[in-house]
């Protein structure tokens, strides 16, 4: 599912420690036949199915990811809430221009960014800014491979889910004027 993504990342950097995999550590199920075996198979596959919505493949074209992740349309209001939440998006830690504190200056102001960058360009910067600048301090909000020292709560899952990325992209796209303050 993530083959395309992995190949690209491999070109950029050495992969880190393999992340733990879903299903590892499950005790071997006792032998069963017929319906019991089917039920057990479904039960074992369930955790894997739960992981599916957490990560979807995407295609990079130039400096953009033109297609919305999972084909979703984002909601700007939800995106603003995520971007300005000090525990969720953390964007204001490094960026001004979102009308929320602390208005950090490690990154450029995001005022008017929706006029400077297309939704596809915004998407790639959120998903994996390291594709454009391997030395960037901006977190890759939708990347799970090639990472080391990932806290247990974030293993095997991106910082933001596909729908949340789309919400933030939709919000950033509304920031059209340099002097905007919201
Ligand atoms: C730890 C600091 C940090 C955090 C947190 C951070 N960024 Fe960034 N961001 C940067 C830096 C630095 C850049 C400049 C690009 C580079 O480093 O190559 C950048 C660039 C960008 C750009 C491109 C801007 C342009 O004008 O080219 C966008 C869009 C962006 N960030 C959005 C976000 C959003 C939205 C969030 C929160 C979900 C966020 N950033 C969180 C540091 C950060």
Give the pLDDT score at 9: 38
Give the pLDDT score at 152: 72
Give the pLDDT score at 157: 79
Q: What is the fold, at CATH topology level, of the domain defined by 3-10+29-173?
A: Cytochrome Bc1 Complex; Chain D, domain 2 (1.10.760)
The Cα–Cα gap between 174 and 124 comes to 17
Distance from residue 111's CA to the centre of ligand 1 (Å): 12
Give the pLDDT score at 57: 85
Q: What is the CA radius of gyration of the chain?
A: 19
Q: Which atom of ligand 1 is nearest to the CA of 106?
A: 12
The Cα–Cα gap between 112 and 13 comes to 32
95 lines ligand 1 (CB under 6 A): yes
Q: Which atom of ligand 1 is nearest to the CA of 116?
A: 26
DSSP secondary structure of 38-49: HHHHHHHHHHHH
The low-confidence residues of the chain, meaning pLDDT below 50, are 1-25, 51, 182
CA angle 49, 20, 52 (to 5 degrees): 20
Single pTM value for the model: 0.74
Give the pLDDT score at 10: 34
Distance from residue 91's CA to the centre of ligand 1 (Å): 7
Burial 76-90 (b: 16+ CB within 10 A, else e): bebbbbbbbeeeebb
Give the pLDDT score at 143: 85
Query: 127 near 65, Cβ under 8 Å?
Result: yes
Distance from residue 182's CA to the centre of ligand 1 (Å): 17
Give the pLDDT score at 22: 46
């Amino acid at each position: 599912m993530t083959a395309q993504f992995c190949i690209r990342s491999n070109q950029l950097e050495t992969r880190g420690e393999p992340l733990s995999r879903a299903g590892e550590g499950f005790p071997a199920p006792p032998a069963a036949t017929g319906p019991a075996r089917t039920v057990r198979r479904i039960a074992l596959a369930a955790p894997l199915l739960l992981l599916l919505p957490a990560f979807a493949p995407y295609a990079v074209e130039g400096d953009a990811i033109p297609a919305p992740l999972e084909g979703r349309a984002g909601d700007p209001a939800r995106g603003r809430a995520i971007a300005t939440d000090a525990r969720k998006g953390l964007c204001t830690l490094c960026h001004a221009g979102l009308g929320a504190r602390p208005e950090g200056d490690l990154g450029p102001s995001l005022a008017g960014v929706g006029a400077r960058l297309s939704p596809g360009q915004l998407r790639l910067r959120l998903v994996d800014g390291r594709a454009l600048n391997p030395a960037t301090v901006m977190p890759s909000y939708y990347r799970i491979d090639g990472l080391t020292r990932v806290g247990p709560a974030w293993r095997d899952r991106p910082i933001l889910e596909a729908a949340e990325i789309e919400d933030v992209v939709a919000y950033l796209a509304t920031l059209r004027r340099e002097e905007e303050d919201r």
